[in-house]
Amino acid sequence: MTTVLALETSCDETAAAVVCDRTVLSSVVASQIEIHRRYGGVVPEVASRAHVESLGTVTDTALQQAGVQWADIDGVAATCTPGLVGALMVGLTAGKTLALLHDKPFLGVHHLEGHIYASYLSQPDLQPPYLCLLVSGGHTSLIQVKGCGDYVTLGKTRDDAAGEAFDKVARLLDLGYPGGPVVDRLAATGDPQAFKLPEGNISLPGGGVHPYDSSFSGLKTAMLRLVQSLKDAGVDPLPVADLCASFQATVAKGLTKRAIRCATDHQLTAIALGGGVAANSGLRQHLSTAAQTRGLTVLFPPLQYCTDNAAMIGCAAADHLQRAHQSTFALTTRSRMDLADVMTLYKS
């Protein structure tokens, strides 16, 4: 049994959690949504300052809710990459300090590996190999999970991430920030067949399209032109629910098609989702239906572990610590890092 105190400050959520193996003892998240809503998106410097103000309280609360003492903690973990460098620095510095103060091993965790491990929190018996469809505000990838720290990216977005596309479309329709939840809610009352939109296929030099890679910049442009054409035609009010439903269905169908083909081509019988867009009801419905017809298993993390949280970071760290992996105190933050390089964060 390995118990880890984990911190997550990669973007705009200040989070701390205590995790024992794949069991969450506590998970505390201080959201910054209201702080950044006035700007229509995350302001890095504002996010960093909010982390500084909240992290101490969040950490104390996580320890209290878990009912543990420092003698019960086997290691301290913090997200170190990828993310906003200033925000990451807050959590990384705090994690190192706590590990030094209490003489505990320290682990720097890759944020995307954390999203992969979110599925283990509800499916503790899940074992590799399987396919992870990771869809968030900054990342959209199809990842073959071979084992702890062993990942192969089979498909990815060539430009924007799915979550970013949701936010930009919400802004286009004056729906506020963050965009994903409100687009999802309005889509439920709209007609997904109302407007035909491009799925964002990537053309190959020799003809055909890439089976796993995707693009969302063209879809955003198509939505912009569609909305402008409706306004030019004097349509008032705009059919916002139909626009949201058509957009969401297009994203869901494209992601589903690529994930199913990728899993089938690589003889992977399970698809686990991770990231904030994994909470989207349209994607869950499309993927579940398509997977069922092909005999594939789809695993969705609980909604509270789709968005950024420290429980998933702690779960990943506990697995690494059980394998005697730990980081040095010289570890630094990085705004980007390929998931294939995750083991460079540790020494045995």
- pLDDT per residue over 77-100, tens digit each? 999 999 999 999 999 999 999 999
CA distance 112 to 139: 9
In a shared domain, residues 230 and 164: yes
> Is it the case that residue 205 has pLDDT exceeding 90?
no
In a shared domain, residues 201 and 76: no
> Is it the case that residue 348 has pLDDT exceeding 90?
no
> Is it the case that residue 261 has pLDDT exceeding 80?
yes
Q: pLDDT of 114-133, one tens digit each? A: 999 999 999 999 999 999 99
Q: pLDDT of 19-33, one tens digit each? A: 999 999 999 999 887
Res 319: pLDDT? 98
In a shared domain, residues 43 and 81: yes
CA distance 314 to 18: 7
CATH number for the domain harbouring residue 58: 3.30.420.40
Sequence-ordered alpha helix ranges (H) in the chain: 33-37, 44-66, 85-101, 111-117, 162-172, 179-187, 217-232, 240-265, 281-293, 310-322
Residue tagged 């503790």 (tokens): 124
Q: Are strands 150-156 and 140-147 parallel, antiparallel or unpaired?
A: antiparallel
In a shared domain, residues 200 and 328: no
CA distance 111 to 191: 36
Task: Find residue 109's DSSP bridge partners.
Answer: 79
Domain end residue (candidates: 300, 316, 336): 300
Grade residue 203 by pLDDT with cuts at 50, 70 and 90: confident
In a shared domain, residues 163 and 295: yes
Task: Find residue 133's DSSP bridge partners.
Answer: 142, 273
In a shared domain, residues 157 and 25: no
Element (H, E) at 30: strand 23-31
In a shared domain, residues 293 and 162: yes
Element (H, E) at 235: none
Res 280: pLDDT? 96
Q: pLDDT of 273-286, one tens digit each? A: 999 999 999 999 99
Res 42: pLDDT? 86
* DSSP, res 237: S
Q: Are strands 3-8 and 75-81 parallel, antiparallel or unpaired?
A: parallel
In a shared domain, residues 85 and 156: no
> Is it the case that residue 232 has pLDDT exceeding 90?
yes
* DSSP, res 297: E
Res 315: pLDDT? 98
In a shared domain, residues 18 and 104: yes
Query: Considering the chain, what is the average pLDDT of its residues?
Result: 95
Grade residue 40 by pLDDT with cuts at 50, 70 and 90: confident
Res 201: pLDDT? 86
> Is it the case that residue 338 has pLDDT exceeding 80?
yes
Residue 34 contacts residue 77 (beta carbons within 8 Å)? no
Number of domains forming the structure of the chain: 2
Res 31: pLDDT? 87
In a shared domain, residues 260 and 339: no
Residue tagged 């003492």 (tokens): 69
CA-to-CA separations, 190 to 183, 223, 245, 246, in angstroms, rounded:
10, 16, 5, 8
Residue 5 contacts residue 18 (beta carbons within 8 Å)? yes
Res 178: pLDDT? 86
Q: Which range marks the domain in which residue 236 is found?
A: 128-300
In a shared domain, residues 55 and 180: no
Task: Find residue 184's DSSP bridge partners.
Answer: none
In a shared domain, residues 148 and 180: yes
